């Protein structure tokens, strides 16, 4: 493990832990399987805000993963794709959510219509 800088540490439940970017870099340095690194990135859920800096920070590891030398953008894109955070994956998730919303709206409308029919029947029989 490389020397850890104070700025790479944060506290979680009172314990010092590596920040997500430092964790990703350490895993890449150790040549960890990219699917596992992608999981860490996914778990970080937006805590790595500066994608330009992220790409620059991981650029030195790209060749180790079969990508162009110092191609941090390609490595970042591959990690995001594996984590399901790329545009295509997000688009697919959004399409699935839209289908679920449409189904729920139809179900609600059907239930409301049934309730109206039941109320009418009760009023007519009263």
pLDDT in tens, 45-99: 667 766 778 899 999 999 999 999 999 999 998 998 888 876 676 677 777 888 8
The pLDDT, as a whole number, for residue 49 is 64
pLDDT of residue 89: 67
User: Is the distance from CB of 6 to CB of 39 less than 8 angstroms?
Assistant: no
* Residues 124, 69 share a domain: no
**Measured distance CA(86)–CA(38) in Å, rounded:** 12
Does residue 66 sit in the same domain as residue 93? no
For residue 12, the SS3 value is strand
- Are 91 and 77 in a shared domain? no
Number of domains in the chain: 2
Q: What is the pLDDT of residue 87?
A: 63
Domain that holds residue 101: 86-126
pTM over 0.85: no
In Å, how far are 1, 2, 12, 18, 111 from 8, measured between CA atoms? 13, 12, 13, 6, 53
Q: Does one domain contain both 36 and 6?
A: yes
Q: Based on the fold, state whether residues 5 and 18 are members of the same structural domain.
A: yes
Of the candidates 28, 27, 20, 40, the residue with the CA atom closest to the CA atom of residue 83: 40
User: Which has more confidence, 12 or 90?
Assistant: 12
């Amino acid at each position: 493990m490389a020397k850890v800088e104070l700025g790479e540490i944060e506290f979680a439940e009172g314990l010092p832990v590596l920040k997500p970017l430092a964790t990703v870099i350490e895993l890449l340095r150790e040549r960890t399987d990219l699917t596992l690194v992608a999981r860490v990135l996914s778990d970080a859920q937006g805590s790595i805000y500066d994608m330009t800096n992220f790409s620059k920070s991981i650029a030195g590891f790209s060749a180790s993963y079969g990508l162009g030398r110092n191609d941090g953008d390609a490595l970042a894109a591959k990690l995001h794709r594996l984590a399901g955070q790329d545009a295509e994956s997000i688009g697919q998730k959004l399409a699935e959510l839209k289908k679920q919303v449409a189904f729920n709206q139809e179900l609600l409308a059907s239930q409301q219509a049934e309730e109206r029919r039941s109320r009418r029947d009760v009023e007519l029989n009263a």
